[in-house]
Amino acid sequence: MSDKTKKELLQEILAKNPKTEAKFTNYYKYCFGFICEGVDFGVGGDSGDIYRLDIYPEMLLSDLIEYIED
**Euclidean distance between CA atoms 27 and 21, whole angstroms:** 18
Sign for the pseudo-dihedral over CA of 22, 39, 42, 9: negative
pLDDT at residue 1 above 60?
A: no
Which pLDDT does position 40 carry in this prediction? Answer: 96
Work out the pLDDT band at 2, boundaries 50, 70, 90. low
What tens digit of pLDDT does each residue of 26-68 get? 999 889 999 999 999 999 888 877 787 889 999 999 999 998 8
Measured in residues, the chain has a length of 70
Q: What is the pTM of this model?
A: 0.87
Exposed, middle or buried: residue 44 (CB in 10 Å: 0-12, 13-18, 19+)? buried
Domain ranges of the chain: 6-67
